[in-house]
Chains A and B, each alone.
Chain A
Amino acid sequence: MDVYLILSQMTLGLVNGVFYAILSLGLAIIFGLLGVINFAHGVFFMLGAFIAYALGQWLGIGYWGALIIAPLLIGMLGLVVEVTFIRHLYRLDHLYGLLLTLGLALFVEGFIRIAFGPQGLPYSVPPSLRGAVNLGYMMLPMYRAWVVVAGVVLCLATWLIIEWTPLGAKLRAATDNPVLVQAFGINVPVMLTLTYGAGVALAALGGVMAAPILSVDPSMGTSVIIVVFAVVVIGGMGSILGSIVTGLGLGLLEGLTKAVFPQASSTVIFVAMVIILVARPRGLFGKAA
């Protein structure tokens, strides 16, 4: 077996793993506080990529600008979505939240298909990140190296904010016991709104980062979100760090499979999910039911 091939496929797998980590992290934060599985998470990821594309086409704003503008726009959109739609479902069974966000996802995907057509659109790598780095066992395109480093930093920063800042402490407290936190004078409804906005902004940031790698097309969000659901089931949504580690780890596993048994590379994460469910139903980092 070619060790170089395995190593290079796993390195490339890490790029996917970064996207899984960013998305499952956002899902876990939103789920923890709002109790909603955000099916629309995938389309916010997709919207991030499309905003990057549109900014480049129409306003001549490049990658770095998009990296700031897209998450801000999508974050604001997220605030509006929470206030207009999601907020009305907190009293009900969580499954209605899933149905609602699925409806929103279909709507947005339909809208983007009408506006941009169904085919993939190209988005080029920014000039400052062209070229490749020599890792000894492979030439890694500079842009992918950037995605891995930036993505891991982003995930760890989010984790640090949640674990080590006063804001994060409030967030964790509200996740544990919203009624008590509200009694201490913290405005929990506003927190829910901001959390949703921040979670989807994170997804949009991931979308901008993915734009030069994946082709920018309307269904890119849905296909990635289904894999991320499996990632979430494997990791369990109990721990923030857990979802980061699981996301990255499954990216590596996917890369490994691509090198060893390529036919199974699209199904390996689902197979891993089945194995985990049989062996440890609550997931790797999940709390006991």
Chain B
Amino acid sequence: MAGTAFLKTTRTAGVSQSQFLGFTKARAIFFLLFAALIAVGPQFLYPIFLIKVYCFIIFACGYNLLLGYTGLMSFGHAAFFGMGAYLCGYAATQWGLPFELSVLAGTVIAAAMGLVFGWIAIRRTGLYFAMITLALAQMVYFIAMQAPFTGGENGIQSIPRGTVLGFIDLSSNTTLYWVISVIVLAAVAFYNRIIHSPFGQVLRAVRNNPERAKSLGYNVDRFKLAAFTISAAMAGFAASLKTITFGIATLTDVSYVISTEVVLINLVGGIGTIFGPVVGSFFILSLEHFLAPYGPWVLLIQGIVFTVFVLLFRQGIVGELQKRFRTHL
């Protein structure tokens, strides 16, 4: 009962279409739409909520690079997200580092952990890979619960926002909003650029046919490890921005709920698409935001969304749009 290869939804990236930095006309339009949405967003929604969505977009982009384009399903990204959040918070409070260096610290620790965990996990593929990453992340969770620097149940609190480049004061929500907006647009463009680079092509080859990629002389394991590390780094980066915004890093950031959330975001948005993480993050975080007063109903509804999308819309929202408009988004 061998399954069909996972998620071969994208054809070879627009070789015949003209593109600039990985942007075809369709993707450029979608990107501009997203930018426009960001510009008018604060008129309608609370900016802090939108910032949270943008952080999860960055997180989900990195995750989709791994799941959608390399074909590896990790259930352990909470480890990178959580440790990124902790170290960024620790750097800002205990070491007194400025915004840029704190975020860098969170990103670097996540990348380093990604390198080690990836090295362990890529020894197995498929379901085992998923279980191994989940178990590794649970180990990190238990360590975070006991280690002194995470602050245990209280987490790290009152993390200062600081300034960007030494003169843009982030204490105002509006300023912070525009700074994060620029960052998320850059991150999505970066993600799109990676996917449509020669490196991204090799990742897809690794996903679709590892044996053949190997026979063409590519070191498959090294490419998997590279994708895993980039993906972990993006998780740490996103978590650092979130930590700076909310001024807090807690056990929730490192718990397996975060790992399942990023899977759900990509499943709903569209695994193996560029804008899936954007659409999915808006969808899932809005759902959580508006259902939050109803407590455990969030879990129940998340379960239904998961089930419905797996059974009926495996391509996700953006995947369905791609089919309808016959293009790659």
Partners in one complex: yes
Give residues in A with beta carbon < 8 Å to B: 31, 34-35, 37, 85, 88-96, 98-100, 102-111, 113-114, 118, 178, 222, 226-227, 229-230, 232-233, 263, 266-267, 269-271, 273-274, 277-278, 281
Q: Judging by beta carbons under 8 Å apart, are A267 and B7 in contact?
A: no
List the 6 shortest-distance A-B pairs measured between CB atoms, nearest first.
Answer: A103-B306, A107-B303, A110-B300, A110-B299, A106-B303, A113-B296
Kindly provide the distance from the CB of B209 to the nearest chain A CB, expressed in whole angstroms: 14
Q: Judging by beta carbons under 8 Å apart, are A95 and B5 in contact?
A: no
Q: Judging by beta carbons under 8 Å apart, are A110 and B306 in contact?
A: no
Contacts of B298 in A (CB 8 A): 110
Q: Judging by beta carbons under 8 Å apart, are B6 and A95 in contact?
A: yes
Give the CA-CA distance A34 to B1 in the complex, in Å: 8
Q: Judging by beta carbons under 8 Å apart, are B3 and A93 in contact?
A: yes
Contact with A along B251-265 (1 / 0, CB 8 A): 000001000100100
Give the CA-CA distance A268 to B311 in the complex, in Å: 37
Q: Closest residue of chain A to B311, judged by CB?
A: A88
Interface presence of B194 (CB below 8 A): no
Give the CA-CA distance A242 to B1 in the complex, in Å: 23
Give the CA-CA distance A35 to B3 in the complex, in Å: 9
Contact of B126 among A95, A109, A113, A233 (CB under 8 A): A95
Q: Judging by beta carbons under 8 Å apart, are A37 and B127 in contact?
A: yes
User: When A and B form their complex, what is the total count of cross-chain residue pairs whose Cβ atoms lie within 8 Å?
Assistant: 139
A sample of 14 more A-B contacts (CB under 8 A), given A178-B1, A233-B132, is A35-B3, A94-B127, A96-B3, A100-B306, A105-B303, A106-B300, A107-B306, A110-B302, A110-B303, A114-B295, A229-B135, A230-B138, A273-B135, A277-B120
Contacts of B299 in A (CB 8 A): 106-107, 109-110, 113
Kindly provide the distance from the CB of A103 to the nearest chain B CB, expressed in whole angstroms: 3
Give residues in B with beta carbon < 8 Å to A: 1, 3-7, 73, 120-121, 123-124, 126-128, 130-132, 134-136, 138-139, 142-143, 145-146, 256, 260, 263, 267, 295-307, 310-311, 314
Q: Judging by beta carbons under 8 Å apart, are A98 and B135 in contact?
A: no
Give the CA-CA distance A163 to B133 in the complex, in Å: 32
Kindly provide the distance from the CB of B103 to the nearest chain A CB, expressed in whole angstroms: 28
Give the CA-CA distance A178 to B1 in the complex, in Å: 8
Contacts of B132 in A (CB 8 A): 233, 273, 277
Q: Judging by beta carbons under 8 Å apart, are A102 and B306 in contact?
A: yes
Q: Closest residue of chain A to B307, judged by CB?
A: A103
Contacts of B4 in A (CB 8 A): 91-93
Q: Closest residue of chain A to B138, judged by CB?
A: A226
Given A94-B127, A270-B138, A273-B135, A104 contacting B3 (CB threshold 8 A): no
Contacts of B260 in A (CB 8 A): 102, 106
Give the CA-CA distance A230 to B138 in the complex, in Å: 10
Counting chain B CB atoms within 10 Å of each CB, which of A89, A95, A110 scores highest? A95
Contacts of B136 in A (CB 8 A): 270, 273-274
Contact of B142 among A178, A229, A267, A277 (CB under 8 A): A267
Contacts of A102 in B (CB 8 A): 260, 263, 306
Contact of B310 among A31, A91, A103, A277 (CB under 8 A): A103
Q: Judging by beta carbons under 8 Å apart, are B303 and A281 in contact?
A: no
Q: Judging by beta carbons under 8 Å apart, are A222 and B127 in contact?
A: no
Kindly provide the distance from the CB of A101 to the nearest chain B CB, expressed in whole angstroms: 9
Q: Judging by beta carbons under 8 Å apart, are B142 and A99 in contact?
A: no
Give the CA-CA distance A95 to B134 in the complex, in Å: 14
Given A98-B73, A233-B132, A110 contacting B126 (CB threshold 8 A): no
10 A-B pairs whose Cβ atoms sit less than 8 Å apart in the complex: A88-B311, A92-B3, A98-B73, A99-B267, A102-B306, A106-B302, A108-B303, A110-B299, A229-B131, A263-B146
